[in-house]
Structure 1
């Protein structure tokens, strides 16, 4: 089980904290319900045991840092400051904890103005980063060795992950869940939270499992859940319709409205995406075709040719 430690500073924004925390909490619940190992335990640390927030609701925290390893995450939510957003906000000990955790191979992340804390810890120099659009110029000025990327949801550079303002912390957390456990779990978490499922901060979304999840049709989500889990196996439309609780005709119509394709076309897209990954890792076309459920490589070659056209 991985520790997710939130470093809290005075006047932190509740949504910066709660959005990301909800993602990891929901992911932990999903993993526990499925009997899958590798969940999350959330911890909150601060200089004082009670931390005031920008919205007026105080939150409780531990004052002693837990023992952390390379598989753990430390995240700094953003805060409201009447002066410069850049702080200094961290104590020397807090900055050292961030730096040392990254040094041993751990991941360090920030939401919104939390990027300034990472900069104070010396983690932004020579790395891509971002923050809230109102603070980007100040971040670039305060940490001139950092490469501040504008107008993106989040960036990731050598286990230093930064996100833009407020709600983008949800996108960042979904990305981290997808990296560790796969896009299917991230999609289930996003669906449970009733938010759009995004994967990439600044590139076009690459995963079909997430790219076609930004809709509110429960029937289609149920079918996608089944296809996501079993796309390498033969799937019949009558069986998919039965699992969704609607007729074949209704399923085909609703699926097309939600995703722009039929259920079986969606399955083929997932197979192609996985096959391309395997080929990129050195597998032959024949081996990749077999691994994703094609009887032979001819269909895979046709799909690849169509995608390249």
Structure 2
């Protein structure tokens, strides 16, 4: 898969709406999964809402989309983008029809709505523009109090820093939760989830703290799930007593080490079930002695036995 993200710069783009997601995809390259980053517009030069300029922009019409491309439209000053732009709207509709991943940050959603590709779909934007968006485009289903909303290949996010949340979510979808967590850690962020998401990944849950000892234990457990360990052994790795580690882990994550390990096992097992691995192999990878024990854990957390989960995946 070729990795490419295309940022469309409107008039008076808000810098953070562009820079936040941009940094995520830049860091992806630093961590071994590079993205070709393109900046396009309807003019060679654009001014940001804060007064800075960006030049040497590519004409958007010259872009030929590949199926795995991401097109992102950062937020902008609405008053500076009132004039219709038929060629751009047609370009957006073509991208939509070709199932290209299209994303907006903040007021960037207005460009999607104007092109008509949000009709009948749920979306979101900055809380300050919720009513204006719904009033101006009544065929669009505007959702309140949402970080971001996904509709097949269209993703819309709320204001400012939620563009980073959306970018990390896209990274997780394409390259896995572990890799997304590495980028989030590099950016000194934790991954949040939209309230409509059915399940958060354990690899990024319970990481909303900055305690390096607890993070170290979590990292070790993630990468050595197949190995037997003990509280004493984990405590030794971070130069703590077992008693203090137990207390600290619960204080920082809200769950016990045992509960965390069980959640890791469930997620690992679900991943391997999707790959049609044998239950014996899955049990070994999850550090569990017998498949029956794993089946019991899966039933407890998902409500389904392994055979049913395979059919659902």
Q: TM-score, normalised by structure 2?
A: 0.83
SS of the aligned residue for 1:254 comes to: helix
Q: 1:218 aligns with which of 201, 212, 220?
A: 212
Please state how far the C-alpha of 1:232 moved relative to its aligned partner. Answer: 3.8
Corresponding pairs, count: 300
The verdict on how the C-alpha distance between 1:80 and 1:242 changes in structure 2, with shifts beyond 3 A counting, is farther
Q: State the distance in 1 between where 2:111 and 2:174 align.
A: 25
Offset from partner CA, 1:76-129 (integer Å, 9 cap, x none): 00112347xxx4466323222322223222100000000011112221012111
Please state how far the C-alpha of 1:285 moved relative to its aligned partner. Answer: 6.7
Q: State the distance in 2 between where 1:89 and 1:204 align.
A: 39
The answer to whether the 8 Å contact 2:43/2:59 transfers is no
The answer to whether the 8 Å contact 2:25/2:167 transfers is yes
Superposition pairs of residues 1-309 of structure 1, within 5 angstroms? 1-30=2-31, 32=32, 38-65=33-60, 66-82=63-79, 87-88=81-82, 91-203=85-197, 206-237=200-231, 240-241=234-235, 244=238, 248-276=242-270, 289-290=283-284, 292-304=286-298, 306-307=300-301
Q: State the distance in 2 between where 1:89 and 1:181 align.
A: 38
Offset from partner CA, 1:124-163 (integer Å, 9 cap, x none): 0121111111111221222222211111110000110000
Runs of at least 5 residues in structure 1 that lack an aligned partner in the other structure: 33-37
Q: State the distance in 2 between where 1:285 and 1:278 align.
A: 9
Q: TM-score, normalised by structure 1?
A: 0.84
Q: State the distance in 1 between where 2:50 and 2:301 align.
A: 49
Q: State the distance in 2 between where 1:82 and 1:88 align.
A: 6
The verdict on how the C-alpha distance between 1:44 and 1:242 changes in structure 2, with shifts beyond 3 A counting, is farther
The verdict on how the C-alpha distance between 1:268 and 1:214 changes in structure 2, with shifts beyond 3 A counting, is same
SS of the aligned residue for 2:252 comes to: helix
Runs of at least 5 residues in structure 2 that lack an aligned partner in the other structure: 304-313
The verdict on how the C-alpha distance between 1:82 and 1:96 changes in structure 2, with shifts beyond 3 A counting, is closer
The answer to whether the 8 Å contact 1:13/1:77 transfers is yes
Q: State the distance in 1 between where 2:225 and 2:29 align.
A: 24
CA RMSD of aligned residues (A): 2.8
The answer to whether the 8 Å contact 2:146/2:194 transfers is no
SS of the aligned residue for 2:128 comes to: coil
The answer to whether the 8 Å contact 1:184/1:228 transfers is no
The answer to whether the 8 Å contact 1:11/1:51 transfers is yes
The answer to whether the 8 Å contact 1:175/1:200 transfers is no
Q: State the distance in 1 between where 2:236 and 2:87 align.
A: 58
1:35 corresponds to which residue?
A: none
Please state how far the C-alpha of 1:56 moved relative to its aligned partner. Answer: 1.5
